[in-house]
């Protein structure tokens, strides 16, 4: 998977993309993150990438000319491949979810555009942006942190980046939250590990974990259960257990 990131602040990406799993994934050639400074496509001496809005008002707007040139140059980096999605990170976008992360992980390449100031010239959005994604209902100072969140969530789903087994039962993978985890010691500050986990009985452990996922989802994110139900992710045993806890579809 190739991520081409268009940003006014490439230095912001060091740290999140240069440590830990993303670092290893890049070293192993499983993902490539290329940073492009939008200012490099500015045409004036001051490398201006923003300007005052037509009609007046607060803030600045990202200029169409350098932005469009930057996007087109990024698209041209892989001329033989079908055009990559161009994703604008913005608080107006489609909410980012695990399901969207899985969908994007199917692509060979993503072009990520980090919005700034009051936004970008609407004509660039119309002409060149194919998707708009928000990481939550709050406003960041720019799209960079959102792009890093998207890269992190999508990269870990790319084959080989992390152990496939950790993905299948993690939070949100099938519409439920994750079960609790424990490691040694068996008793910590008078708190024992749930005995079933020490029983060596794999079937019982699996059942306990499934029930803990259901219990936790009902307690913390009951809004997720109707979606899991409609998506056919709740078995008859799940529904019986949830009924005991007082939840009915
Ligand atoms: N840029 C500013 N706020 C954002 C958000 N919530 N999601 C994505 N990009 C943003």
Residues 60-77 have pLDDT tens digits of: 999 999 999 999 999 999
Query: Which residue's alpha carbon is nearest to atom 10 within ligand 1?
Result: 90
Q: Does 138 belong to an annotated binding site? A: yes
From 139, 147, 153, mutation site for ligand 1 pocket: most ligand atoms within 8 A of C-beta: 139
Average pLDDT of the chain is: 96
- Structure confidence at residue 171 (pLDDT): 80
The pTM (predicted TM-score) of the whole model is 0.94
Query: Which residue's alpha carbon is nearest to atom 9 within ligand 1?
Result: 90
Atom of ligand 1 nearest to the CA of 115: 1
Judge residue 87's burial from the number of C-beta atoms within 10 Å of its C-beta, 0-12 exposed, 13-18 middle, 19 or more buried. buried
Cα–Cα distance, 136 to 85 (Å, whole number): 21
Q: Does 137 belong to an annotated binding site? A: yes
Give the model confidence (pLDDT) of 217-234 as tens digits. 999 999 999 999 999 999
Residue 202: count of CB within 10 angstroms of its CB: 8
Outline which parts of the chain fall under CATH 1.10.1270.20: 169-244
Around ligand 1, the residues with Cβ closer than 6 Å are 89-91, 115, 134-136, 138-140, 142-143, 146
Residue 203 C-alpha from the chain's centroid: 33
- Structure confidence at residue 167 (pLDDT): 81
Assess whether the previous peptide bond of 185 is cis (omega < 30° from 0).
yes
Q: Report the CATH fold assignment for 169-244.
A: 1.10.1270
What whole-number percentage of the chain has pLDDT above 70?
A: 100
Q: At what angle do helices 20-27 and 144-155 cross, to 10 degrees?
A: 60
Q: Does 135 belong to an annotated binding site? A: yes
Outline which parts of the chain fall under CATH 3.40.1280.10: 2-164
Give the model confidence (pLDDT) of 100-142 as tens digits. 999 999 999 999 999 987 899 999 999 999 999 999 999 999 9
Give the model confidence (pLDDT) of 91-101 as tens digits. 999 999 999 99
Homologous superfamily of domain range 2-164: SPOUT methyltransferase, trefoil knot domain (3.40.1280.10)
């Amino acid at each position: 998977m190739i991520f081409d990131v268009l940003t006014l602040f490439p230095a912001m990406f060091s740290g999140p993309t240069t440590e830990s799993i993303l670092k290893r994934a890049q070293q192993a050639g499983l993902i490539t993150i290329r940073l492009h400074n939008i200012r490099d496509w500015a045409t004036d001496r001051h490398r201006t990438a923003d300007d005052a809005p037509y009609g007046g008002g607060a803030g600045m707007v990202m200029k169409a000319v350098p932005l469009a040139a930057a996007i087109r140059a990024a698209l041209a980096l892989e001329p033989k491949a079908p055009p990559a999605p161009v994703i604008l990170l913005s608080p107006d976008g489609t909410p980012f979810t695990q399901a969207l992360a899985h969908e994007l992980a199917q692509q060979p390449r993503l072009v990520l555009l980090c919005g700034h100031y009051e936004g970008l010239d609407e004509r660039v959005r119309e002409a060149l942006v194919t998707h708009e994604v928000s990481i939550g209902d709050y406003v960041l100072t720019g799209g960079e942190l959102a792009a890093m969140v998207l890269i992190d969530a999508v990269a870990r789903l790319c084959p080989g980046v992390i152990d496939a087994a950790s993905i299948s039962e993690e939070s949100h993978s099938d519409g439920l939250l994750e079960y609790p985890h424990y490691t040694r010691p068996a008793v910590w500050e008078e708190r024992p590990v749930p005995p079933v986990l020490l029983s060596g009985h794999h079937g019982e452990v699996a059942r306990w974990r499934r029930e803990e996922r259901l219990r936790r989802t009902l307690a913390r994110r009951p809004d997720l259960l109707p979606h899991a139900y409609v998506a056919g992710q709740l078995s008859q045993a799940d529904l019986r257990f949830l009924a005991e806890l007082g939840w009915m579809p």
